[in-house]
A and B are shown apart, each in its own frame.
Chain A
Amino acid sequence: MRRTSESRSRQILDLPLDVRTQEKAKADKAPCVEEGRLATYRPDGRNVQRFLALLSKRMNRRLALSMTGCVHCGLCADSCHYALVFPDDPQMTPVAKADRIRKIFKRHMDWTGRIAPWWVGAKRPSDDADLNELKNVAFGLCSACRRCTFNCPMGVDTAGLIRFTRGLLTSLGIVPEGIFNVSRDQWDTGNQMGVSEADYLETLAWMRDEVRTELGTDAVDIPIDKDGCDFLYVINPREIKFDPRSIGQAVKIFHLAGESWTMPRWGWDNTNFGLFSGDDALGAFVADNVYEAAARLKAKRIVISECGHGFRSTRWEGYGWAGRDQDVPSESVVVSLERWLREGRLRVDPSRNALPVTFHDSCNIARSGGLTEEPRRVLQRVCSDFREMTPNRTENYCCTGGGGLLSMAEYRPIRLEAASIKARQLEATGAKLVCTMCHNCIDGLNDVIKHYNLDLKVVQVLELVDKALLV
């Protein structure tokens, strides 16, 4: 399965900048574009200047340390699925990808690079073509999984540098179409799939009715904007649009656990494309919607549905982007599940999940969220044949759809080629079900399973708990 083509990265680096959807957004007078919150590409020859100005303005200590701390030891190379699948392509290593921004930093901000650029490989981008190439590296050859960060003896956060680079390019409109489109939706509708309030409320009502029918009681409810509940439940828009079953499962479980909870009319999207696009302003806007909803409704805590980047953004990064200290506690719904199981508030029969199950740790949850044991404890209670994947927890491989890559169709072929590592890892478990607590990973893993013809089905923790429930 190892690829030897060293020109594979070249094909990606040469992909052009497509601005058709940006033009459409301008023609549609999209509010975020009109108000300057989402940048569009300006071919006026001044993008390099703008890029360098933003680089200086946004640099922080953590990034500066990662820029300066790399010793070019190359140890990170074998931690990256791209580099592992394309061992003969030097551009696929994390250090080579990070060096694309590092050389600009060195030339623009570091002493040695300014005095003797050739000596340390420091170089500014010359024109928009160089910036476009940088876009293809930052968005197309990295799923921001952070595996390399955890394998760098210096502690260089290559994924952090990639996100920073993405953010600079997003501010110039030099972005893949998918990133632009989803950002636009999230800016203008408050959720990344452009779900209208009517659709949102209608789907919730539908799911409530389904659960009422299933449990045979009208006591089941999805309270909207209810004050003073124990928790505010926030979800991934994918659940409304493509997978409302997960909402039904949650509703049923919350009811059986006897919880007092609510969902907000506004501020219900736990996902955050700012994490992927590197746009801290978008990150702040989306995260703040959730925090404000919790404050408005005086919720005692925020419970985040099964979403990897949603969990990372809402639980951790959002407070930094929004510039506020966390006041309302928050947790993943899997943590809630584990507690209710432990307290005996949910009764389950593991034999109802008899097929062998393995667990895929989402990068954002395991490497950036500190949540690895709770899902395992839940699975061990509700499944009769749980098998670990190797490697696992913070060492797990990305589903390969992370970093927003699922929204960028132009990088799909190389993403799936790089996924051969994941396919092998999944196959080796011998499991029939792969469980993940991330909606993004569901799509990423489904792509891998389909592409490599694996005999596996992707499930989520809520689904397995629901199946094991003794009602």
Chain B
Amino acid sequence: MSPFLNVLENQVQLICLAFMAVVYVLRLAWILHFRPVRERGLAQGDAGRGAGYALAGVALPGAMESIRRKPIFYAQFLLFHLGVVAAITATFIIPYAPGLFEKRLIVLAFQIVIGAACLAGILRLVRRLSDRRLRAVSRPDDYLSILMMILFFGAGVLAVPNHPRDGETALIAFFILTAFFLVYVPFSKICHYLYYPFIRFDLGRSLGHRGVWPPVRPGRECAPPAGRPS
């Protein structure tokens, strides 16, 4: 491994990671400095259950009409985010546990997951470009974020075999993109995952308190009223 790649995989990543952590802490402090809102009415439901339901929303494709009607979009969402997890994991495995990528099956699994995410990313970009309603709300950040993710996944597929002896281009590209993301993400829309638990928790608590969430599921709704028949 060249000294450049060595520094890139280790020191550069650590510095960028530290930078990202600092900015995330500042971001969270910023969001949390806003006055919280709380329900003051007597509870009709369970705030905790509501929050749980809201946070589980990502794994409940049937819960939201918008997702229920778009199963392919949900599949893309899953593949894309699984790819993110796999690619980020790879950035740690390569420098700190390279032995794992000596097993062909593990490498193949990572390549499939990251490759599928790359494909999902391309489909998302096509959707953003071809849907005029989406174009109307898309900013440079939206385009760059998805484009860079596609490149990141592409580089990830080539990098995970981790064979610097056969050429370092893929590894260098992968780690340069990783460093880029670590610095860029806190300022881009990609940091939505930082806010996600807070937004869902807050909305879920409020709706849970009011007895709106979890909603009545079909089949269990409208049980015959108890009590004496009139």
Contacts and interface: CB of A to CB of B under 8 A. Distances in A.
Interface of A: 59-66, 68-72, 74-79, 83, 87-88, 90-91, 93, 95-96, 99, 111-112, 115, 118-121, 149-157, 315-316, 319-320, 323-326, 329-330, 338, 341-344, 346-348, 366-373, 376-377, 380-381, 391, 393-395, 470
For A87, A153, A376, the residue with the greatest tally of chain B CB atoms inside 10 Å of its CB is A153
A330 B170 CA distance: 65
A252 B192 CA distance: 55
B230 A61 contact: no
A96 B199 contact: no
Nearest to B58: A153
Contacts, number: 192
A365 to B, nearest CB: 10
B137 interface: yes
Nearest to B145: A71
A373 B39 contact: no
Nearest to B202: A62
B191 to A, nearest CB: 8
B218 to A, nearest CB: 9
The list of the 10 closest CB pairs from A to B, nearest first, reads A370-B211, A90-B136, A342-B227, A319-B40, A151-B66, A344-B228, A121-B139, A61-B34, A155-B199, A370-B210
A interface: dominant SS: helix
Contacts of A323: 40
A72 B134 contact: yes
A89 B120 CA distance: 27
Nearest to A314: B41
B226 interface: yes
A61 B133 contact: no
Q: Bin the interface of chain B by size.
A: 35 or more
B57 A61 contact: no
Interface centre among B35, B54, B137, B210 (most CB of A within 10 A): B137
Q: Which of B73, B200, B203 has the most CB of A within 10 A?
A: B203
B196 interface: yes
Contacts of B99: none
Nearest to B224: A380
Nearest to A374: B225
Interface string B186-211: 01110010011011101110110011
Given A74-B131, A150-B64, 13 more contacts: A60-B34, A61-B202, A65-B202, A75-B73, A96-B133, A112-B187, A155-B204, A341-B227, A344-B230, A381-B225, A391-B65, A393-B215, A393-B221
